[in-house]
Amino acid sequence: MPIKTQRDLPALGILENENIFVMDENRALHQDIRPLKVCILNLMPVKQDTELQLLRALSNTPLQIDVSFLNVSTHISQNTSANHLNKFYTAFDEIKEDRFDGMIITGAPVEQMAFEEVDYWEELCKIMEWTKKNVTSTLHICWGAQAGMYYHYGIEKILLDKKLFGVYPFHVLNRKVPLVRGFDDVFLAPNSRHTTILTEDIKKCPELKILAESEEIGVYLAIAEEGRQIFVMGHPEYDRMTLDNEYKRDIGKGLDIEIPKNYYPGDDPEERPLLQWRAHSNNLYSNWLNYYVYQVTPYDL
């Protein structure tokens, strides 16, 4: 799929080297097609890494995607330069009158805080409320999924005894739902979090349908309102080395962190990690775009 975004976004050069079709604004204007408008609310600390991961994940259908990056204005980023944010990101006040085919709300490193203690929580609530009428389908990732379930359905997260960290197997529960079409019975996905939402609490909510879960760590994928709200508890967009970088960063800080599970061959951190989840990640994002964004969105927003 052609990914359309600003021409000088740093991630584009990497994507082009991977033979992923990237289109700038000038070329897109010469195509007689309405691209899908997708807004990414990027709450991750190193925003360039997440930009690359998500653009790569969105690049596997014939659809043309016009991507906009959104940043909260009530938080000052410590890990991404103001120059990058000013150049490639927009504020909610600048888009709140617009409509989007799809939206992605990423994870964030604030999960050990109560939602109301997060400095941008009020702004995030306004954005999540706005998505109900202005976005065809919203995909929530990791902490973004926990925040979405709390805001929309009042489901509390719980703090885990230790960090849930590694690559875990999940079972598909309902093959009739298009979001998991083409998935294997059991698939792998990365997780990196200190909190979770209990399976029994999700099951108590009649609006939510669980699509994939693990006996070991619980729900991975859930859907509501026929796909208008989708929740992914892990990080399917992660690169091969993301968990490795997180592990070695925490070791360098002197933190008590276990080796990520099912990640390094022989549990040896000196070995190159196996990339075991990319196919299902691509399938998930392609299914989301096809069945919940493209096929149900109106031509004229």
Name the residues annotated as catalytic: 142, 235, 237
Record the tokens describing residue 4, joined without a space.
């359309």
User: What is the maximum span of the chain, computed from C-alpha positions, in angstroms?
Assistant: 55
Q: What are phi and psi of 121, to 5 degrees?
A: -60, -45
**How many CB atoms lie under 10 A from the CB of residue 72?**
23
For residues 25 and 4, the answer to whether their CB atoms sit within 8 Å is yes
| CA–CA separation, 284 and 220 (whole Å) | 12
**Residue 195 CB partners (closer than 8 Å, separation 6+):** 111, 112, 143, 146, 157, 158, 159, 160
Record the tokens describing residue 251, joined without a space.
């070791």
Alpha-carbon distances, residue 64 vs 28, 157, 199, 278 (angstroms):
9, 36, 36, 21
